[in-house]
Amino acid sequence: MSKERREIPARLSEEVLYRNKHICCICRTPNKHVEIHHIDGNPNNNAQSNLAVVCRDCRSLVTGYSGLGRRYAPGEVRKYKKAWEQFLALQSKVYKAPSVRVQRELIGQIDLIVCQILSTTDHVRRKELLEVLYNIHLWRSTPKLDQQIIEGFSHLAIISGLSIPSLAKELAMKTWELCWHFVCPDYAKMDKSGERFAIQCVHVVESIAFFNCKNKQNLDALNASLASAEEFFNIAISYKRKAIAGAVLKIHSEAIRTFGFEKDFPTGAAALRRSVRKLSKLLASSRLKWPEIDSKLKSLGRRRQVR
């Protein structure tokens, strides 16, 4: 039996559209026709937290399948909604940073959460705790708190390769999400501190790839690391930050170095070659003149044996 659609109250609809600047929370492309989507699929649940603004293109990826591709899950849509609305709140100065006292308490909580991630054997619980760290960044972000979170992620990256390989994939994805707010220069500026933070995130992904290739030959971890690396490379191109691009390529070179000959980890080598080709295409299409980066990509694409 189909669910009966209840009309969203006009005042609520206006508030949701206003908060999102009439822009899709997924693709964030302005001047497109948008609709209000019920995230949980229940048309009677008109709670503001359940209403996301999506364009018609993205709605087709939210409500059904597109060809052989998978649709956006409700949890993903919620993350896009939160990230976009927080970004707009920051722009309009609605966001208020927590007090010094609250920041001190949160730093202690971050350390405790990292210890809990390391101590639990429940993978679902680990994912939940990573999500808590991400939400602290999303809703309580300050330079001190972000630094504490990235330090925690760096520690988790090493341990994932040594003794908790199931953590690596989730950690690589969550590290990329820390930089979701760098949509494009038109919407979010990147200063030197933002560039440093992005590079620190790339270093976390590098550690995930390095230790998981060296000790476990964890293909899932490598693929997740490379997917995150490609997103960071997009940021580098969009913001014309060559230092970020250089940090990304170190992920590939360090991963190759860890397993030496291609025959030692053939599936990993194939994944790296695919990623290098993708980065080369991204750089070529951007028309940026980065000869050092271009040369490094060509060198990585030619490598078969490294020792």
- Alpha carbons within 13 angstroms on the beta-carbon side of residue 80 total 22
pLDDT of residue 248: 97
DSSP state for residue 16 in the 8-state scheme:
H
Alpha-carbon gap, residue 251 to 307, rounded angstroms: 18
Per-residue b or e along 280-301, where b marks 16 or more CB atoms closer than 10 Å to that residue's CB? bebbeeeeeebeebeebbeebe
158 backbone φψ class: left, alpha, beta (φ>0; ψ -120 to 50): alpha
Question: Residue 91 belongs to what H/E stretch?
Answer: helix 74-91
Which pTM does this prediction carry?
A: 0.73
Asked if residues 251 and 225 have their Cβ atoms less than 8 Å apart, the reply is yes
- What are the structure tokens assigned to 160, written together? 């994932």
Alpha-carbon gap, residue 36 to 52, rounded angstroms: 6
Query: Could you state, in order of their start, the residue ranges of all structural domains in the chain?
Result: 10-91, 100-302
The dihedrals phi and psi of 170, each to the nearest 5 degrees, come to -65, -40
Provide the residue-wise pLDDT of the chain in tens; the chain has 307 residues. 445 667 898 888 998 998 899 999 999 988 899 999 999 888 888 888 889 999 988 988 887 655 545 678 888 888 888 888 877 876 665 567 788 999 999 999 999 999 999 999 999 999 999 989 988 887 788 999 999 999 999 999 999 988 888 899 999 989 988 987 787 787 678 999 999 999 999 999 999 998 888 776 788 899 999 999 998 999 999 999 999 999 999 999 988 777 665 667 888 888 999 999 999 999 999 999 999 999 999 998 876 544 4
**Residue 306: which of 269, 251, 243, 261 has the closest Cα?**
261
Count of Cβ atoms closer than 10 Å to residue 4 Cβ: 7
Per-residue b or e along 220-234, where b marks 16 or more CB atoms closer than 10 Å to that residue's CB? ebbbbbbbbbbbbbb
pLDDT of residue 149: 97
Count of Cβ atoms closer than 10 Å to residue 21 Cβ: 17
- What are the structure tokens assigned to 91, written together? 């722009």
Question: Residue 256 belongs to what H/E stretch?
Answer: helix 242-259
DSSP state for residue 53 in the 8-state scheme:
E
